Amino acid sequence: MPQDQTPEDPRAQVESARDAFEREFERFAALTAESAGLKSPDDPEVLLRDVSEFRTKHLGKKSVLAASKKLIGKVSPEERAAFGQLVQQIESDIVEKIERTEQSLRARVESLRTAREAVDVTLPGRRPHRGHLHPITVVRQRIEDIFVSLGYAIEDGREIETDFFNFDALNIPDNHPARATQDTFYTTDGYALRSQTSTVQIHAMQRRGAPLRMIAPGRVFRRDTPDPTHNPMFFQVEGLCVDRGITMAHLKGTVAEFLRRMFGERTVTRFRPSYFPFTEPSAEFDFSCFKCGGSGCRICKNSGWIELGGSGMVHPNVLRGVGVDPEEFSGFAFGLGIDRMVALMYGLDDIRLLFENDIRFLSQFD
Ligand code: DAH
């Protein structure tokens, strides 16, 4: 049928448009009822989109209804008013039904969204996971606190050193057997990872001269195969006190006081003659077992004593090397391993646990 020709029966055309609408609308009609069987929260949103297509189909420019509206001017004048009313009546009916459907779908979308996003404010919150300090840090800080209260400064050393600081300046010349026991890791350009914190003695005296009192906690490295009591990387604390008239009595008094504050008033300290290239005389020190008090137990391997570190009077060669006159000044030095101390205090049977970063292990020290 050509566009500009009036169909046989315009009334029949518009009525069939209405019937087609009614038939297809059945699908949505049920939705306006309250419990419209919409399972997932997405359903009403999908349906809203369908309704919008449905609106275009039945009310849009290309709809049968739109075509019927154009006929109003073409029907015979006697029929025009009644036909126009019919078309308008059908259009407003369709508009009204579609809008009601959209409204109820929108309400449905809204209430499902509210239900989905609802928060039960009475539920207990999730506790944030708080970290804590590593046991080595805890012990290091306790050691620092004790020495700071005794008037010692805390020195920060460097972990990469030259042979000069790690050995020569500490009175360990080339070919000295002490180099072998402190073998470390070397770079190709003459640097090495320090094997002891004693290197900081040299830096501190070079920079500050005498008198001075300092401790230097830090990481050191040795070419050791890891086992329960060895690790190629571990922590030490170095101590150094240089002044006029410093004697072995000051060394013994300082170490004994430190250990009393660390392990309790009744701790007894013992010095045994020993050898270190950078001290003369040298001594190793032990303290009475903090667990059994000296009677013997598993921790002190039944000896009653725990070996802790090395010490001695700073060798005149070391003082001379940094430009401090050994005729005027004397000093004592000591060094001890923090990891070993941590292992003893926390009853660890393998120091490697301290460096494996296993949260199940570390979280026990909160
Ligand atoms: N640096 C030594 C070591 O790693 C420990 C030590 C011994 C430090 C005697 C000292 C000391 O300051 O006087 O085995």
Any ligand 1 atom below 6 A from CB of 277: no
Tens of pLDDT, residue by residue over 41-62, are 457 888 888 888 889 999 999 9
Percent of the chain with pLDDT over 90: 60
Q: Tell me the pTM.
A: 0.69
The DSSP call for residue 328 is T
- Dihedral sign from CA coordinates of 129, 134, 137, 143: positive
Pick the atom of ligand 1 nearest to 335's CA.
Answer: 8
Q: 32-39 — which CB contacts under 8 Å span 24+ positions?
A: 32/100, 32/101, 32/104, 36/104, 36/108, 38/108, 38/112
Tens of pLDDT, residue by residue over 99-146, are 988 888 888 888 888 888 888 888 888 888 888 999 999 999 999 999
Tens of pLDDT, residue by residue over 66-90, are 888 888 888 888 888 888 998 999 9
* Residue, of 26 and 357, whose pLDDT is higher: 357
- State in Å: Cα 265 to ligand 1 middle: 25
Q: What is the average per-residue pLDDT within 182-188?
A: 87
DSSP annotation string for 56-117: HHHHSTTSHHHHHHHHTTTS-HHHHHHHHHHHHHHHHHHHHHHHHHHHHHHHHHHHHHHHHH
Tokens of 76: 């015979």
pLDDT at residue 115 in the model: 86
The DSSP call for residue 124 is P
pLDDT band of residue 1 (cuts 50, 70, 90) is very low
**CA dist 22 → 8, 16, 57, 58, 336 (Å):** 23, 10, 13, 10, 93
Pairwise CA distance, residues 249 & 272, whole Å: 14
| Cα 3 from chain centroid (whole Å) | 74
Any ligand 1 atom below 6 A from CB of 335: yes
How many angstroms separate the first and last alpha carbons of the chain? Answer: 89
Which residue bears the tokens 């009614």?
22
pLDDT band of residue 6 (cuts 50, 70, 90) is low
Any ligand 1 atom below 6 A from CB of 312: yes
Which residue has the CA at smallest separation from atom 8 of ligand 1?
A: 335
Any ligand 1 atom below 6 A from CB of 331: no
Give, to the nearest 10 degrees, the angle between helix 64-71 and helix 10-29.
150
pLDDT at residue 312 in the model: 98
Q: What is the average per-residue pLDDT within 160-181?
A: 90
- Side chain identity at 243, as an amino acid letter? D
